[in-house]
Amino acid sequence: MKRLLTLLALASISLTAVADEGMWLLPYIKKMNSKDMKAHGCKLKAEDIYSAEKSSLKDAIVIFGNGCTGEIVSEQGLLFTNHHCGYDAIQKLSSVEHDYLADGFWANNNAEELPAEGLSVRFVRHIFDVTADIVGNIPSTASNTEYMATADQNKQALIAKLEAEHPGMQVIIPGFFGNNQFFAFVYEVYPDVRLVGTPPSSIGKFGGDTDNWMWPRHTGDFSIFRVYAGKDNRPAAYSKDNVPYKAEKWLEVSLKGIKEGDFGMIMGFPGSTERYKTSYEIDYMLEVENPQRIYIRGERQKILREWMDSDQAIRIQYDSKYARSANYWKNSIGMSRGIEKLDVKSKKQAQEQAFQAWALANTLPEERFIDALPLIEESQTEARKENATLQYLSEAFLQSVELVQAMMLDSDVEGFYKDFNADVDRAVAKRMFQIYRENNDRLPSIYEKIDAEFGGNSDAYVDWLYDNSRCTSLEKVETLRAEADVTAALQADPAYELTMSIIALYRELYPAVIAADQKFSEGHRLYIKGLMTMQPDKAWASDANFTIRLTYGNVLPYSPADGIIYNHYTTIDGVMAKEDPTNPVEFTVPERLKELYAKKDYGRYADDNGELPVAFLVNCDITGGNSGSPVMDKKGRLIGLAFDGNWEAMSGDVAFEPDLQRTIAVDIRYVLFVIEKYAGAKWLVDELTIK
């Protein structure tokens, strides 16, 4: 264990960091990245970005909701994030009478800001390296089961200690480098967040699914919220007496604009990457995981799209659900395409061969580095079929058929049924029952009922199910909840039988999956530890795990194919060129925007050529969770909001492609133009610190 801790320390102080690849841990920026950042144009000190003793840029960056990043941009707790990050909150606040998704929303003052129920933001108050506390007492000869059990015990004890030391705050201790290293993060959670402004989807979601992950891009992907606090500036549940959060640190805004080669950095909460994924895992991804996800979600999305296009109320109900599903669906398509086109598997195999040769020649059997790759290979083959079936159950029933979700709901029943339509769900369920049987030989027991009582006709069963279940509307659920014996009433409902049959098959399949996962956990931990031992001078970056990270690079164009060069920015000219009356869902341009364009009424937000910039590229290393992250210039000033990656480098979560990988960001000048000139909400611009 001492050898491992020494190894991690060496990795932490290496100065040979790559500028564009790497999601870097903030406590190590001074040792690992500051010289390289300065060489690429950064004018900040490491302490300006992250400091354990004083206010720094880190204090303006928050977790927004459950899966995005936001940044505080004023002393009064004003917050910028992406439109697609705020989408769920905007949808919940929308109705046919007040369709904020289609029409946008702009408060004229604090009193008009709308409480976003269930939405919170989390500030990172402290970060501690606790590796020694978590694994320091684990013998080097410990089995993986003993290693993980002891680490978990140590973790729970330390969480309790830190929570006592920081009352009212949340503490998490995730693993890094395959659970070889651990950091504690102390969060302060503010549960009163209010919608301040959002452009219509024709701006905030311009391009829709067609343009998602694509460049050139012309999407004004931003929304505005405000954090509220009690009068003591501490977190407080929503109250009309709460006041805007008084920020200790907020980002200044730069209108200087960007040019090719400019330094750019992004701070945020990247969700998940798998840069240490092996060729064995890539096989499963390409052959099973991604094809199943693409097919199942594609079938569901076709049904949802038809219903959404036919009825405004249904569109409002399902818009956010559709967007979440479609985003990962297209990501999976691009991921498979990128991995195959860029021959990522062969690169992984070369690394694995070198690792195994090194392990055989340079390590002792008791270190078990020679076992790392065989364990991973076994984990991918032994439960392959069970994993595939579990994914199908999850995608087809637990995520697609909302009647099953309703049976497992233990809170927010009213919110669930606000966005539920039984006719839509019935149509989805029919298709899911069909495709599950067509593609699986392990069926939930409900299919026995379908065969015995409905002659194998799953459509007939689904009609019977939705005609007889008391879980298809809030009104019916209320009658069920009024029963003297609610449990008996629930268990008598036809949807209960369906849900239990799915859960029963889950339980049958799970033991094999758990056994395989234990092998993978051990092999993965040993493999990463071995790689770091094999190359102790390399600056290793841990996979993303939705903890705060820094990435940096430069504003750059790229060439996706022979003879094609993409510029590093787009303008409003491209918005107008993409208008398509035959595709009003994705390519509608608001009349007000066309009026401003015709007059070239861009105000101070035009560039030196009189053009209005919309989006730009920077070669930073981001992934899901970074949505809404600030793109900052060399002085730490806000120049844009990160919102996407590019199609040609969709393999980036597995293997970073420095020549191709780009972050797509909406230019802050377009954001402010929409706020001030389009929406007439200049009071919000006046609240910012603009340089």
Question: Taking the CA of residue 255 as centre, how many other CA atoms within 13 Å lie in the half-sphere pointing to its CB?
Answer: 18
164: enclosing H helix or E strand: helix 144-165
Distance CA 417, CA 263 (A): 48
Which strand (E) or helix (H) includes residue 123?
A: strand 121-129
Other CB atoms closer than 10 Å to residue 30's CB: what's the count? 16
C-alpha angle with apex 505: 503 to 507, nearest 5 degrees?
70
The residue from 40, 83, 84, 218 that is catalytic is 84
Which two structure tokens, joined as six digits, stand for 351?
A: 């690394």
Catalytic residue among 379, 400, 627, 629: 627
User: Could you write out the DSSP letters of every residue in 627-656?
Assistant: TTPEEE-TTS-EEEEEEEE-GGGGGGGTS-
Catalytic residue flag (residue 84): yes
Query: Are the beta carbons of 33 and 227 closer than 8 angstroms?
Result: no
> Torsion angle, CA of 131/134/136/137, rounded to 10 degrees?
180
The separation between the first and the last C-alpha atoms of the chain, rounded to the nearest angstrom, is 50
Structural element, H or E, at residue 84? helix 83-93
Q: Is 627 among the residues known to form the active site?
A: yes
Torsion sign over Cα 141, 142, 147, 151: negative
Handedness of CA 378, 383, 388, 393 (dihedral sign): negative
Q: How far is CA 440 from CA 386, 387, 432, in A?
A: 11, 12, 12
Annotated active-site residue in 221, 493, 633, 644: 221
The rounded distance, in Å, linking the Cα atoms of 592 and 233 is 39
According to the 3-state scheme, what is the secondary structure of 272-305?
CCCCCCCHHHHHHHHHHHHHHHHHHHHHHHHHHH
**Which residues 6+ apart lie within 8 Å of 97 measured at CB?**
none
**Amino acid at residue number 68:** C
Query: With contact defined as beta carbons under 8 Å apart, do 432 and 401 qualify?
Result: yes
Sorted by sequence, the CB contacts under 8 Å of residue 263 that are 6+ apart come out as 37, 40, 41, 42, 552, 553, 554, 633, 634
Q: Cα separations (Å) of 14 from 7, 35, 38, 42, 68? A: 11, 11, 16, 19, 30
Question: Which H or E element spans position 71?
Answer: strand 68-72
DSSP string of 188-237?
Answer: EEE-EEEEEEE--HHHHTTTHHHHTT-SS------EEEEEEE-TTSS---
Please enumerate in sequence order all residues whose Cβ is within 8 A of that of 241, keeping only pairs 6 or more positions apart, or say none. Answer: 231
Counted residue by residue, the chain has a size of 691
> Strands 569-571 and 613-618: what pairing?
antiparallel
> How far apart are alpha carbons 606 and 670 in whole angstroms?
9
Closest CA to 115 of 83, 85, 87, 92: 92
User: Annotated active-site positions, please?
Assistant: 84, 221, 627
